[in-house]
Chains A and B, each alone.
Chain A
Amino acid sequence: MSDVKSNKDAAIAVAYMVRQGLEGFDQAAGAAQQQERPVTISDIARYVMGADVPAVQAKLREDLTIRRTYQQLLAKRRHMYMPMAKAAATASLILERDSDDFTIKLVPAKNHAGQYYVTLQLKSSADISADAELVMHVIQEDKAARCNFPALQSGRCQVVVSESDLLFELLTSADSEIFVY
């Protein structure tokens, strides 16, 4: 076989290999719909911004890499931040926290034992549009909870949280950090 012909055959053989490989990608893609997908950083980014991404929520506690990336994204893109409440570390439950930009208050619901209103009140210094729908992340070590607030009204928004919720546990802990988007 001449060199020219062998070159042609080699090109055909490689083209065959790639065509098979492309089909392999397609076949596996169909089968992959039934499998659990890995979490991508874009998934984590969407979760940070308030999108419903159950896989991220489930993996945050068990996967250190995902947690680190999550915390990294939180730190870099926050609009507002509240550090650990060290001054109040002796208190058993912290029901009010204050930062330069906003205040968080937890008020017991009168008619529903075990439930609290979580109210976020912006301060005038906060650079947030008047009707923004804020997302709050509260983290402490390997625990993380998220809350999507309804649209702001007069710089204020609130949700109801149960005493048994992780969000409540973290919000009332002196060692938690709060990030708001």
Chain B
Amino acid sequence: MRNAIRLHGLIMTDEIDYTRSTLVTYGVSDELAMLVQTVAEGTLLDGRPRCAPAAIQEIRQRLLCHNYRKSLFELAHFIGAVAYLSGDLTSVLYLDEAVYPDGFKGVAQDWLANDELPFAIEGNHLTLQFSDGPFDVHFSRVNVMAGWVDLLLLIVPGLLQDCESLAKQCSRAEVLALAKRLQKHLADYLKDHLQTPTKLEEGMFWLEWARKHVDADNLTAAFNDDHVVMFWQHNWQEDDFDFKRYATVARSAHHFVEAVDVGEQQWQVGHAASLDQTNEDGDAWIENIVDVAEPYWEAMQLVGDLALDEAQTDLTEEGDPLTLLQSPPYSEIKFLTAKQLKALEGFVAEYPRQLAVTALRVYIFGKHQARITGALQNKDPETFKRLLEGQELLNPDECVSELQDIAAAISTSRLVTAHVLNLGGHQRGTLLMLLAAGMEVPEGAELALLKKQAEQSTEDWQTQCFKAFAANNRAGFKSLPEPSQLDIYAIGDQQLAKLAELCEQRLAAFNQYAVDTAEQIHFGHDAVVFTRQFQAIYGDRL
């Protein structure tokens, strides 16, 4: 059974698998994801982001949960207040820095008193005195409101003109009418861009399977790497879901483990008891569309926080090192080649600790499966046959060798970057030199003094840095950069350091995986299991 959205022109068939859009694979359309990303990348006139990552994350979560009615209710009040009290919605939203709390507070403080809509600024919020009661617009929320406005304007381009009608009259009735219009616009749009029911089915499918095959009372602790393989073996033929590729199953298992954790926490704190509540503010036309009830929000908040934590592990820049190095302005400096970055994507994929071996299996067997399907699509029977028999299977020793090459490239790139930073007089250059000299930096130490000491003991290191720089002709290293660019190199080096650490961890894991002992999961056993499974999946092809 496939639902209507799945057949909405988004599935193209090939010989083996469905090439799926993000709507089918993740339940979010490419277009919606792109619009949210566009909002996320919006900037103020001075280049600062218009919306903080936390605001974007909240919008994503509320969209995914179909839990945006309260937000739009809040937004309608915000728009009403700005339009009516400032008389110029567009300017406040787009030409001032009112999208941040302090900026908005400053703007609101300049508004003249209004008899029709009295208001007061009290501490961290603006209180609007409607005839039927007050409404507080909290300054900490204006950034999220700005994000919603940006997104809604991309979905409904003429919306701003509609909203400006509130500049003339702004009673509660007008605000509520606007909230309903916003809800309808968004619900109509999301009908084709979010695929809630199927994704719920997939989660339930995982659960039902896990209840049968894993200790039901302790799913979180009991679910392990072998369950992922078993799930794949049991369900690769399942027509309703995309479980043919091991890599897809592994990613899905990762999400399942997190979902179990979040869901159980949610249940334990008692919020799940209210699952059957209806949203008292809901309209019938929205209820027809939405399957997910308001109380899920709490659970989603946990999931969202989890994802946000992942995004903010970097102290200096958000995002994982690979993404960062492939985004401007860092991508303009070729710290690593595209091939090395691509290879690292596989090596550094993060999985929960209990699925650590799954990460290695994805790298070796997921890659092999991709080659098998590639040979099928290219109608190359000889290669296909060879691969299906398990020939050319990458073994952990080869992975170690590949990873060592990349680690060496990272190390060289760090020497080159250190040369640039040192010659530019950047503080990180000094720190790298002290590190090379094996010196510690006590708090409050005079760096210049320490640097002089380090310079004498790191002559060899400096020569290495210089030689590496001289031998490197990649973009960003052909000449020394402007001083204003040095921070980009420093942050780039921080990312390289993180990648080096991840490589080290992966190297240790691959080494352990290569060991052929009876007690542990190991490559020799897996090679047999996976080859057999590939033959089961593809054996009757070509």
Contacts and interface: CB of A to CB of B under 8 A. Distances in A.
17 contacts: A10-B275, A12-B259, A13-B200, A16-B202, A17-B27, A17-B203, A19-B307, A25-B33, A28-B34, A29-B36, A29-B37, A32-B33, A40-B39, A40-B42, A42-B94, A46-B43, A49-B45
Given A9-B207, A31-B30, A14 B300 contact: yes
Given A11-B263, A42-B44, A28 B273 contact: no
Contacts of A49: 45, 95
Contacts of A10: 272, 275
Interface string B233-276: 00000000000000000011001101110111011000111010
B263 A9 contact: yes
B90 A42 contact: no
Contacts of B466: none
B160 A69 contact: yes
Interface in A1-52: 4, 7-25, 27-33, 35, 37-38, 40-46, 48-49, 51
A54 to B, nearest CB: 15
What are the 10 tightest A-B residue pairs by CB atom distance, in nearest-first order?
A24-B26, A28-B33, A12-B263, A16-B203, A13-B203, A16-B259, A24-B28, A17-B199, A15-B259, A11-B263
Contact of A22 (B64, B260, B263, B266): B64
A148 B392 CA distance: 61
Nearest to B153: A41
B180 interface: no
Chain A, interface residues (CB within 8 Å), range: 35 or more
A32 B37 contact: yes
Nearest to A46: B45
Interface of A: 4, 7-25, 27-33, 35, 37-38, 40-46, 48-49, 51, 65, 68-69, 72-73, 76-77
Interface of B: 22-23, 25-28, 30, 33-45, 50, 60-61, 64-65, 88, 90-91, 93-95, 150, 153-154, 157-158, 160-161, 194, 196, 199-200, 202-204, 206-207, 251-252, 255-256, 258-260, 262-264, 266-267, 271-273, 275, 292, 296, 299-300, 302-304, 307, 323, 327
Contacts, number: 200
A13 B207 contact: yes
Contacts of B194: 21
A15 B26 CA distance: 13
A11 B28 contact: no
B306 to A, nearest CB: 8
Contact of A29 (B40, B65, B161): B40
Main SS at interface, chain B: helix
A13 to B, nearest CB: 3
Given A17-B199, A32-B38, 13 more contacts: A11-B264, A14-B292, A17-B200, A17-B202, A18-B65, A21-B60, A22-B64, A22-B303, A29-B33, A40-B39, A49-B95, A73-B94, A76-B91
A13 B204 contact: yes
A6 to B, nearest CB: 9
B158 A8 contact: no
Given A24-B27, A29-B33, A8 B45 contact: no
Given A16-B255, A20-B27, A28-B34, A41 B160 contact: yes
